[in-house]
């Protein structure tokens, strides 16, 4: 009875726990439009006021404005830092308050996204059986989303080993209680563990949840080595012009 009362109180106040968010940002307020819709809040790590490190640069040879840019330390993927988009063409960016470490970047455009994630420190040796089971696990997760796509996956085979994958979760139909024609979409960084019979999702980090125009095709995915493992020290690092590779 006590547990039931507590759950009702949580739902009525519109408060939810975000299990994949950094410590100190686990509790957030939300409006629940419908029980059919898993609400997604863009929850990013606050810049560290004690850290003087940062990054700035410009995406070269691109006429498209950057929609969003994120920096993620591969050692702690729960921490996702939001960059400031700059420049008259919105093709430049800057991050401040980044702790010392190595960061992978995610650059998001309207019709494409580029990432340099280090999904596994060592060379991936996942077997075809591992890949099939990981695919099955992803497809079974979060039934609200009708389509899931794994863009990249890396990890190690064997019981109790781990893997990471970058995915798009997409709902290609209307959501109950939402009075518009847009569809729900999010990019996710998913961390899995081999539990013997199969692979289990340990943690999933939403990167860029949006309501998307169904007339638009899904953004195309590209891996770019120029966005991988960028070292940040105690000063603002100027990366200059960055050419995105395919």
In this structure, are residues 164 and 120 in contact, taking their beta carbons and an 8 Å threshold? yes
Count each helix (H run) and each strand (E run) in the chain, helices first.
2, 17
Q: Rounded to whole angstroms, how far apart are CA atoms 87 and 50?
A: 26
For position 173, what pLDDT does the model report? 86
Q: What is the DSSP string of 67-126?
A: -EEEEEETT-TT--EEPEEESTTS-EEEEEEEPSEEEEEEEE-SSEEEE-----SSPP--
pTM over 0.75: yes
Q: Rounded to whole angstroms, how far apart are CA atoms 152 and 154?
A: 7
Name which of 86, 89, 101, 100 is nearest 56 in CA terms: 86
For position 27, what pLDDT does the model report? 29
In this structure, are residues 67 and 109 in contact, taking their beta carbons and an 8 Å threshold? yes
For position 40, what pLDDT does the model report? 59
For position 42, what pLDDT does the model report? 87
Q: Which parts of the chain have pLDDT scores under 50? A: 1-35
Domains along the sequence of the chain with CATH: 53-118+224-242 (2.60.40.10), 128-218 (no CATH)
């Amino acid at each position: 009875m006590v547990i039931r009362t507590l759950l009702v109180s949580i739902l009525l106040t519109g408060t939810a726990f975000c299990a994949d968010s950094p410590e100190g940002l686990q509790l957030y307020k939300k409006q629940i439009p419908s029980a059919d819709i898993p609400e997604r809040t863009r929850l990013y790590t606050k810049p560290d006021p004690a850290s003087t490190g940062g990054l700035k640069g410009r995406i070269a040879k691109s006429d498209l404005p950057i929609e969003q840019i994120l920096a993620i330390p591969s050692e702690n993927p729960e921490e996702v830092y939001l960059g400031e988009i700059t420049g008259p063409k919105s093709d430049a960016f800057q991050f401040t308050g980044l702790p010392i470490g190595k960061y992978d970047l995610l650059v998001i455009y309207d019709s494409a996204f580029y990432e340099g994630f280090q999904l596994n420190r060592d060379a991936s040796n996942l077997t075809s059986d591992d890949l099939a089971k990981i695919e099955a696990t992803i497809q079974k997760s979060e039934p609200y989303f009708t389509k899931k796509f794994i863009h990249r996956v890396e990890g190690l085979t064997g019981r109790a080993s781990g893997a990471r994958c970058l995915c798009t979760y997409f709902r290609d139909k209307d959501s109950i209680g939402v009075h518009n024609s847009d569809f729900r979409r999010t990019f996710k960084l998913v961390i899995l563990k081999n539990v013997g019979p199969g692979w289990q999702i340990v943690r999933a980090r939403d990167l860029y949840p949006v309501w998307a125009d169904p007339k638009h095709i899904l953004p195309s995915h590209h891996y770019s080595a120029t966005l991988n493992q960028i070292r940040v020290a105690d000063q603002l690092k100027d990366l200059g012009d960055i050419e995105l590779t395919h």
